[in-house]
Amino acid sequence: MEDLALLEALYETAPVLPSRYLGAWTEQDAERAWRRWCSAVVEAEVELKPAGLAIVRHPASDYRVDLQWAPDRKGTFRLFTVAVIPDNYLSHFPRSYDMHVCTCAFHLRVKQAKDRSAFRQAPRRRPVAGNPIDPDFYRRLLDSYERLVVEGYRNPAVELARRMNEKHGTVKSWLSRGRKYLGEPPKRTGE
């Protein structure tokens, strides 16, 4: 019931379909559009990855959508990068309606997830020079790194740097400092 309320709220923000402008819509047309939209959202496959990455793919599409996100101060998930990645080439560019379906599928899966810590975002705040050491930043950074290792990334530090929009060398130094500050043994593989 909670999911249905969320779907209704998300549907209110959906872009208007071009077919709606072509003539008067009946209640049946509106009901069919609602059902079509709901089935598109529910059928979309959403893979929640560590460090704030979600991969959304609709079974009928020839592309996937990579979403990078971070929670705001209220805990609401905000998207800051949306990338359309074609399988080979794009037969058509996704419409705003298709993109809305992808983001709604993401929000629905996040709401349904039992353990949200499994896909926490990479830390966004950088350590500030002159301020006391923030162990939470380094703990979250090392946690994100370990999740990428478990997922099987060959070079998790590079992937983490990409997701954080930082230089690889900077992230490597943060990982090294974090291990030192938190008393973990240094690791050399995969960096």
pLDDT along the chain (191 residues), means of 10: 75 69 72 85 84 82 84 71 82 77 84 62 63 78 86 86 81 87 65 51
At 51 the pLDDT is 66
Block residue for tokens 């998300």: 10
- In this structure, the answer to whether residues 176 and 157 fall within a common structural domain is yes
Q: Are 17 and 33 in contact (CB under 8 A)?
A: yes
> 12 and 78: one domain?
yes
Can you tell me the distance from the alpha carbon of 37 to that of 35, in angstroms, rounded to the nearest whole number?
5
Which residue matches tokens 């990982």?
175
Measured between alpha carbons, how far is 105 from 22 in angstroms, rounded to an integer?
Answer: 28
Domain end among 64, 85, 117: 117
Q: pTM of this prediction?
A: 0.58
**CA-to-CA distance for 132 and 89, rounded, in angstroms?**
49
61 & 10 share domain: yes
Co-location of 9 and 34 in the same domain = yes
Interval 17-45: pLDDT, tens = 655 556 667 788 878 888 888 888 888 89
Q: Report how many domains make up the chain.
A: 2
Co-location of 52 and 112 in the same domain = yes
Place of tokens 């929000």: 107
Q: Are residues 110 and 24 in the same domain?
A: yes
86 and 42 in a single domain? The answer is yes
Q: Last residue of a domain, which of 69, 90, 117?
A: 117
Q: Is 187 inside any structural domain?
A: no
Residues 100 and 131 in one domain: no
Q: How far apart are CA 182 and CA 121, in angstroms?
A: 20
At 55, which helix (H) or strand (E)? strand 53-57
pLDDT of residue 86: 87
| 54 Cβ contact partners less than 8 Å away, ≥ 6 residues apart | 46, 47, 48, 66, 67, 68, 69, 106, 109, 119
Residue 29 lies in a domain: yes
Residue 154 is predicted with a pLDDT of 87
Q: What would you measure as the largest C-alpha separation in the chain, in angstroms?
A: 68
Residues 110, 176 within the same domain: no
Same domain for 171 and 79: no
Tokens of 28: 């049946």
Residue 34: which domain range? 2-117
Q: Is 79 found in the same domain as 159?
A: no
